[in-house]
Each structure stands twice: as C-alpha cells, then as structure tokens.
Structure 1
Amino acid sequence: MSDAVNRPVAFRREDGTLVTPGFVNGHVHPDKTTWGGPWLSRKAAPQLKDFIANDLELQLGFTEQSVEERSYDLMRHAVENGAMALRAHVDVGTQIGLKNVHGVRAAAERLAPYLKVQIVAFPQFGLLTNPGTLDLMEASLGEGADLVGGIDPQSLDGDLHGHLDAVFGVAGKHDRDLDIHLHDMGSEALGQLREIARRTVAEGLQGRVTVGHAFALCDTEEPDLGRTLDALADAGIWMATCALGADPVPVLDLLEAHGVRVALGSDGVRDSWSPYGNGSMVDRTHLLGYRTGAMTDAELERCLRIATLDGAELLGVQEILDFSGPDAAHRVEFQAESAAQLVVDRPAPLRVVRNGAAIAL
C-alpha cells in the first residue's frame, strides 16, 4: 500500500482557501465526446452491443468537428476544473483506423504544459472478432498510444484465453502496461479477473495492469469475491471505477481491506453512451461519494484521495504525488472549509496552479 493513504490530501490556509493536489481522470473516452458541439439525441441501447453499434454510427457520422477539436475542448475544460492528468481510452479498429489516436494525441500535445495524457489503444469494436485490429493496436504504440487495452474477452470477443494471449502478447513485446474493460458480472467474470491476475504475475507485470469498471467486484453476495480480490491485490491490479448512473460501484472498505487499489474516472462524457458528464473530476468525486454512501469526513476525504493522489500513482505523475503543502508548485485552490465539504459542495476551482503559476488557457 502506498504512503499516499497516510498523507494529507488538503490544506486550509488562514484566508479560508483549501488547497488540494491536481485531479486525475483515470478512465475517460475523449475521442467519443460531443463536448462543445450541438446537442445529441441518444438512441436506446438495451445491451452492450447496441451501445457499441450506436457509438460506431455516431463516430462515422461526425462532420462538424474533428477528433482533435472535440477531444481538445473536453480536455481543456477538464484542466480548467483541476485535472492535471488523464488516461484516455481511444478506439482503434478497422472501421476507423488510427485517426482517433492521432486526434487525441494532437489535442494532448496542445495541452502538454498543463495535462499529462496517457492513451490506451482500445479495441471497442472487437479484437479477435474484428480481424486486423490487433495489428492496428500494435501499430498505434508507435503513433501516439501508450498502453494496450482490452474489452470483455469472453462475452464480447468470445475467447477469454485468445483475447488475453493477444493483449498480454503485445504488451510484453513492447513493454507496455495494460488496461482492460470488463463489464461482465457474476462468478464467470470473477473467474476472468483471476485469470487476468494469474497472467499478470506470470508475465511479471505486477502493478502495471488495470481493470476498468470490473462490475463483478461490486457484488458482495458472490462467494468467490474475497479470493478474487486477494488475487488482484497479489498481482497489484488496479480497479478503475466511474461511479456511473445505475452501474455497480465498489464497496471501498472491502477493496481497501483486501489491498486492491482504486482509481476514479469519468468514462464517456456526453457521447452516444450517455448524455451526462461535464469533464470535471471535482464533480465526479462528488458522485463517487454519493454512490458509495460516503458519510463521515474520513470517507469523503478518501474519495478525494482516490481522485487525486491515488490516480496520480496509477498514472505515475510525480508532480501531483509531490504535493506536500498549501504552496506546492502544482495545486488546485478552492473556497471550502475542508476536504469533506469540497467533495459534497463540488465548487469550481478558484485557481489551478502549475509550476507555481496559475494556468491561463
């Protein structure tokens, strides 16, 4: 367990200003967003495959703004609201090639003085079921992508071991970290998580694998939950939750007791999947507290730590981790009495400070 859990996550100055570390969005899809564009009326999506089909239709139909423009608008707004780092899951597939990776990387370069961006090559439209995608994912690692992604190896791609062979193989070949979406629930999904943990240890990737959503870890009635959490902790696997709508959220006390680290993200922001989201990790921290039933000051402060220092540890952003006081070179300033009040009231930042100077975008 990192020493971040024992460090202050906020300092209050005599003038009433509350100072926090920079926020980290550990799971976001900026290439899909409609942020800054016209309102989008969403279609119903009874199943995951319907969401994915709607997503592809929208992406192929974008004409008014490029991937770079839309991603930049969203990420700039995130910076203005205190984000200093994010992990972007960016679609790669035969239907769209590498244009999303190129677009998000170009947007990230425009914001480089203010925002650290990791790009995950994400096979949203299938990996084994979409021949040619694996080659594109490997190629993306030389054209702007940083991590190898995966998605629902069994239910979406239809081959747990084949999918994991592919993504672990590319990650090992290029010495990259892994971040795998897993929406599945139930005992079978827990089995997939244990297999991911087993491979992580076998490949020497402890601490370098994240599972996004991991809804199966949120069901405390599952008899294999405890041993699955232990396997993940032994492998140093992170869980990224997004505190979404009606989707399951983890019992933070339980994951903490087993030693499983948690990061926070926003997932999609005003894309075909959802009309919700605003790019603010302050707002998302509030939702994490609300969805997990945080009541005490300590529980609310834990949500803030997950959204700042813990996320920075996952992404390896040292300037955020170096936060040690109210005059830190990288900090976010709020009008709030305490970390707990900040999480509940979710105010906009007074200032976002990078390298000792307020940002000016």
Structure 2
Amino acid sequence: MTDVHPRTARPATAEGMLAAAGLVDAHIHPDKTSWGDRWMVRRPAVTLDDLIRNNILALDEYGASVEDRAFALMSNALRNGTLGMRAHVDVSTEIGLAHVEGVRAAAERIGPGLTVQIVCFPQFGLLTNPGTLDLMAASLQNGADIVGGIDPLGVESDVAGHLDAVFGLSERSGRDLDIHLHDGGEDGLAQIREIAARTRAAGMQGRVTVSHAFALCDGSLPSLRATLDEVAAAGLWITTCALGPDPVPDLDLFASHGVQLAAGSDGVRDSWSPFGTGSMVDRAHLLGYRTGAITDADLDRCYRIASTEGGRMLGIPDLTLEVDATSATRLEFDSPTIAQLVVDRPSPVRVLRHGQVL
C-alpha cells in the first residue's frame, strides 16, 4: 500500500546528517510567555476559570514587553527547527490590540525564516466581554491573520451566540477560524458537531481548527466515533499539545476516521505552567510518550504530526513537502533515524529555509 504521507526524513547528507522536515508549532501563546524574562511565581489553579483569572492578574507582573518576550521564545523555537507557527494572541477590552502588535513586531524582527500566523484570541471572553468582537475585527487589519474562539459553552454559556459571532467575523473577513475547546464529555462533542455542521454550511472545509478538543480524547463517550466521522467530513483540523494531565487523542482511532491532527506547544513558561521550551522535537517526544508510542512507525508519526501535518494545517507549501538531503527547506540532525531523534530530543545541527542557513 502506498504511503499517503510525505516522508519526514531521508538518508544522511554528505556531512552525515539526517535530513528532516521543518517543524511546525500549530498552537502556541507567545504573548503569555515569560521566556527571557525574570522567573514567574505562579498561583495555584484548579479550573479553567482559575487559569484565566491568573492570566489577567499576571498582565502587570512581566518585566519585559510582549514583543521582547515573544521574540525570545520564537527565536528559541527557530533555533530548534520550528519554521512555521500559529500564535494565539489575546485580544480583549483589557489589553486592546497591544499583544497582537507586539507579537507581529517580534515576528518581523525574526524575519522570513519563521512563518507566523496570528490568531486574535478572546481569552477573557467574547460575548461576556462586550467590545471584544469589534477589537478582534480591528486586529485583522493590524497584524492578526485568523479569527479565534473560546469554549462556547464552558466560558461563554451561549453556544449559538458565540459561534454566530466567530463564524460571522470569519466569513465577513475571509479569514480562517481556530476555536479553543476545552469542554469535555458529551457537551464537548455536541459543540464539535455544531462547529463541523457550520463549517460545512459555510463551505469552509479545511479552514477551521478546533484546538485541544478534549472531548475527542474520551473513548468512553457513546457519540465519539460518530463525532469523529463528522469532524473528518467537515475537514476540521484538531490540535493537541500533550500537556501534563490533559487528555490526548487515540492516534490510531483518529487515523482510522480520517481526522487531521497537528501538534503545538500551547503555553510556554507562562502564568498557566512553568514548563515548555518551544521545541517541537520536545513536543513530538511528549506526544509519543503520552500516547504509548513503541514502534519506529509510531515515533515517525509523532514527528509527522509535529512537522508536515502542521505545515498542511497552516497551508505553508515548503513545510508539507517530502524531504531529502538536497531540499532547500530542511533540518539536519546528528541522528541515525527519526525514531531515535524523537526519543533523544536533539537540537538540529543546521536549519535551512529556502536554501538559506538560518
């Protein structure tokens, strides 16, 4: 049977390095990071509401600007082989467009080696924070690329109203849509089915992402398999970050239903968590560890989810391609195989984009 996926690696270069596909961070929050800043003392949190409240309290506690912190994290990601990134950036009445402008400035400082898509993300509520939708619309003219959303039920308590707002903005602006959905259980699955139905009705197949989608990770839910079929039929993308105790997808089950999956870092050393490095090699390792990867094929799949699958999700042509030792865009690792690379977690020896050594 022909492998439908692009190869993520080919035999060694003349220097004996393994040539591998560029990595893609499909879900990260660079405006929240404390990378390159002083150590952040974190408050305890049990619920999502606790985490969001801590996020608001932390806004006045950073020593460095959004631009400088984002630049430090994104530079480290690039050094570790990340060539594409979808950055979820807060937009709210509390902060206006400042975070979007800061992350866009950081991306411009880094240059074309790292392709950055910015999602205008209503972390502190949309319907529950009047004025945020207008700010999101303005952000799309001031550095943001994609419309974001947050749990329509768990945060907003109004599934139809929230989805009307974000799908409406997406359709009016012609931008793609990426919705955070932490809600679990059958309520979570029902929201995902509604997102899938609206995606098909709007003709937006392949342009809508559900981030986290924890409900899709619960094999005990009666409607899981039917929901996975609807996700696939709508061409929805799902992102996973394999974080701490958070649920992770059954990769075989997702594959059997044709569900598209990419990986990201989520928060990196922010008010939510002291962990993270911005390295997608580390994230492929964590995904393999959390999903019980054993075989080389399992480990290769984790690298693919962290590289070429993310490239497909973001629509970046040179990050979706089959790679060999002559590819203009590639990473070079001192490792014999992708499987061992995922286990050992080395940094790349060289990072190349469009023929330029970065």
Kept in 1: contact 2:308–2:321 (CA 8 A): no
- Quick one: which amino acid aligns to residue 171 of structure 1? S
Instruction: Provide the aligned C-alpha RMSD in A.
Output: 1.2
What's the counterpart of residue 51 of structure 2? Answer: 51
Work out the CA distance in 2 between the residues paired with 1:161 and 1:321: 35
Aligned residue pair count: 356
Alpha carbons of 1:269 and 1:302: their partners in 2 closer, same or farther (altered >3 Å)?
same
CA offset at residue 357 of structure 1? 2.7
- Quick one: which amino acid aligns to residue 60 of structure 1? D
SS at match of 1:282: helix
- Quick one: which amino acid aligns to residue 203 of structure 1? A
What's the counterpart of residue 155 of structure 2? Answer: 156
What's the counterpart of residue 23 of structure 1? Answer: 23
- Quick one: which amino acid aligns to residue 40 of structure 1? M
Alpha carbons of 1:117 and 1:4: their partners in 2 closer, same or farther (altered >3 Å)?
farther
SS at match of 1:161: helix
- Quick one: which amino acid aligns to residue 141 of structure 2? G
Work out the CA distance in 2 between the residues paired with 1:267 and 1:6: 25
SS at match of 1:32: coil
Kept in 2: contact 1:5–1:305 (CA 8 A): no
What's the counterpart of residue 253 of structure 2? Answer: 254
Matches within 5 A, 1:190-269: 190-269=189-268
What's the counterpart of residue 60 of structure 1? Answer: 60
Kept in 1: contact 2:26–2:310 (CA 8 A): yes
Matches within 5 A, 1:1-361: 5-13=4-12, 15-62=15-62, 64-359=63-358
SS at match of 1:31: coil
CA offset at residue 236 of structure 1? 0.1
CA offset at residue 184 of structure 1? 0.7
CA offset at residue 86 of structure 1? 0.2
CA offset at residue 163 of structure 1? 0.1
Work out the CA distance in 2 between the residues paired with 1:218 and 1:237: 15
SS at match of 2:27: strand
Report percent identity of matched pairs. Answer: 58
- Quick one: which amino acid aligns to residue 205 of structure 1? M
Work out the CA distance in 1 between the residues paired with 2:336 and 2:23: 18
Kept in 1: contact 2:29–2:266 (CA 8 A): yes
Kept in 1: contact 2:7–2:322 (CA 8 A): no
CA offset at residue 16 of structure 1? 3.6
- Quick one: which amino acid aligns to residue 196 of structure 1? I
Q: Deviations over 1:15-53 (max 9, x none)?
A: 541111110000000000000111111110111111001
Work out the CA distance in 2 between the residues paired with 1:97 and 1:126: 13
- Quick one: which amino acid aligns to residue 336 of structure 1? S
Work out the CA distance in 1 between the residues paired with 2:209 and 2:308: 16
Kept in 2: contact 1:323–1:331 (CA 8 A): no
Work out the CA distance in 1 between the residues paired with 2:162 and 2:4: 34
- Quick one: which amino acid aligns to residue 234 of structure 1? A
Structure 1 gaps, min length 5: none
Q: Deviations over 1:84-136 (max 9, x none)?
A: 01000000000100000000000011122210000000000000000000000
Work out the CA distance in 1 between the residues paired with 2:106 and 2:39: 22
Work out the CA distance in 2 between the residues paired with 1:4 and 1:89: 32
- Quick one: which amino acid aligns to residue 19 of structure 1? A
Kept in 2: contact 1:4–1:309 (CA 8 A): no
CA offset at residue 5 of structure 1? 4.2
SS at match of 2:209: strand
Work out the CA distance in 2 between the residues paired with 1:177 and 1:46: 32
SS at match of 1:131: coil
CA offset at residue 155 of structure 1? 1.1
Alpha carbons of 1:110 and 1:198: their partners in 2 closer, same or farther (altered >3 Å)?
same
Work out the CA distance in 1 between the residues paired with 2:282 and 2:120: 27
